[in-house]
Amino acid sequence: MGFLGLTSPGTEEGDIVVIFSGGITPFIVRESKSVAGEFTLLGEAYVHDIMYGEAMGSGHVETFLLV
Q: Please tell me the predicted confidence (pLDDT) of residue 8.
A: 78
Cβ–Cβ < 8 Å for 18, 29 = yes
Q: Please tell me the predicted confidence (pLDDT) of residue 30.
A: 92
Burial code (b: 16+ CB inside 10 Å, e: under 16) for 29-38 equals: bbeeeeeeee
Q: Please tell me the predicted confidence (pLDDT) of residue 15.
A: 92
Residue range 20-60, pLDDT digits in tens: 877 788 899 999 889 888 888 999 988 877 766 556 566 66
Rounded (5°) CA angle 19-46-3: 85
> pTM for the complete prediction?
0.74
Residue range 27-38, pLDDT digits in tens: 999 998 898 888
